[in-house]
Amino acid sequence: MNDPQLDPGDIAALFDRSRLRTARELRGFTQVQLAREVGSVTAASISQFENGHTKPATATLRRLAVALRVPPAFFAAPARPPVQDQINGYFRSLRSTSPRDRQQALAYVHLARELALELEKHVALPELNLPRAPIDEGQALHSADIEQAAAQVRDHWDVSRGPVQDVVRLMEMNGIIVVRFRVSIEKVDAFCVDFPDRPVVALGADKGLRDRSRFDAAHELGHLVLHGVNGKIGDKETESQAHEFAAAFLMPADDIKSELPDRLDWPAFLRLKAKWHVSLAALLVRAKTLGVMSEHTYAQGWKALSVRGWRKTEPGSLGNPEAPVLLQRALELMETTGLSFDDFISRSGLPEADIRNLLSRDIRERPRVEF
């Protein structure tokens, strides 16, 4: 991307407006707040820089870099086509997350893509191998179609019958970038961005539950397979379809139907949870969806989950969530070629603290009191 020898004048000449916006959103600043932080530019000027009408002078660029905690070289255009501005992320609920929270989370995901593309200059990452079953506009998608799409992905990826061993590892092996990060964003759940070169799935670092985290990962995979770049963001139907995909991907009908109880046999459900590494709630829904459990029994099951407090904390701990390893291993491999992490960061112009945040795998499930 950026030559470490670039002088400030070169960086100003190569100024990439999208990089300024990404850096601002990484810090959660509005244009007005950034102008206040910098002190010598107006919000109107920052707007002009971001929409490409003007470029900042070298001195202004330096002050922007300090305010945004990025190296000045971050603002130089990469030697590849920039990503389209309109690529958005699949967020669960647009109502429960503020635009600023979503923008900050999206900025981290753009950074993850940048990191992957930079690493590819030095090591070979797995090629993107993602079968698509995109929905045509105006065409209804039925549950049978979603079940079939999930089965096709399992077949394409050569997943053997029964439980998926590690959903995150499977996605990474097939060229999807998976990250977990803490950015003090409470309400942003897992989401994905379908970049054409490297789709990125972001899993919340606050979810220390293996079952829920696996379902989140499979849900985002559902968006990539079914909806691509054209799906409706935050739409109830879109989210419901991704949920159906996750259930079918993790619990194929042919494999699990005969194992599901038709009554509220909690010991049986707990055994299934331990085998399939999915939540009791997901198993309950699957039993109803596949016609094993009656509507009445299902409703009783949800009441029981609520009464016992299991909707928040289920019994049957499965251990720590699945951890992404692809980017970290790529960096370790790169270092064996003689390029240190510090040199890589210097050459790439990427902000070191944020890259370390993206690579952080510090997520643990709290030990639970069991009875």
What's the Cα-to-Cα distance from 193 to each of 28, 39, 196, 237, rounded to whole Å? 19, 34, 9, 18
Q: What does the pLDDT look like over 220-264, one tens digit per residue?
A: 999 999 987 677 777 888 899 999 999 999 999 999 999 999 999
Q: What does the pLDDT look like over 107-154, one tens digit per residue?
A: 999 999 999 999 999 999 999 999 998 666 667 789 999 999 999 999
Q: Does the pLDDT at position 329 exceed 90? A: yes
Between CA 25 and CA 105 the distance in angstroms is 8
Q: Does the pLDDT at position 81 exceed 60? A: no
Backbone torsion region of residue 69, taken as left when φ is above 0, otherwise alpha when ψ lies between -120 and 50, otherwise beta = left
* Better pLDDT: 249 or 9: 249
User: Do residues 178 and 75 lie in contact, with contact meaning Cβ atoms separated by under 8 Å?
Assistant: no
User: Do residues 203 and 183 lie in contact, with contact meaning Cβ atoms separated by under 8 Å?
Assistant: no
What pLDDT does residue 363 have?
Answer: 42
Between CA 321 and CA 338 the distance in angstroms is 32
Helix ranges (H only) for the chain are: 8-13, 17-26, 31-38, 43-50, 58-68, 99-119, 143-156, 167-173, 210-226, 236-250, 253-256, 266-276, 280-289, 295-307, 326-336, 341-348, 352-359
Between CA 163 and CA 221 the distance in angstroms is 16
**Partners of 192 in the β-ladder:** 90, 201
What pLDDT does residue 343 have?
Answer: 95
Break the chain down into helix, strand, coil percent, rounded to 5. 50, 5, 45
What's the Cα-to-Cα distance from 226 to each of 38, 83, 89, 198, 237, rounded to whole Å? 43, 21, 14, 16, 12
Q: Does the pLDDT at position 304 exceed 80? A: yes
Nearest to 310 by CA among 286, 284, 336: 284
Q: Does the pLDDT at position 365 exceed 50? A: no
Which residues, at least 6 apart from 265, have a Cβ–Cβ distance to it below 8 Å? none
Average pLDDT over residues 320-336: 94
Residue 5 CB burial class (10 angstroms; 0-12, 13-18, ≥19): exposed
Q: Does the pLDDT at position 175 exceed 60? A: yes
What pLDDT does residue 2 have?
Answer: 46
Q: Does the pLDDT at position 85 exceed 90? A: no
Residue 43 CB burial class (10 angstroms; 0-12, 13-18, ≥19): middle
pTM of the model: 0.90
Which residues, at least 6 apart from 54, have a Cβ–Cβ distance to it below 8 Å? 45, 48
Which residues, at least 6 apart from 133, have a Cβ–Cβ distance to it below 8 Å? 145, 148, 149, 152, 225, 226
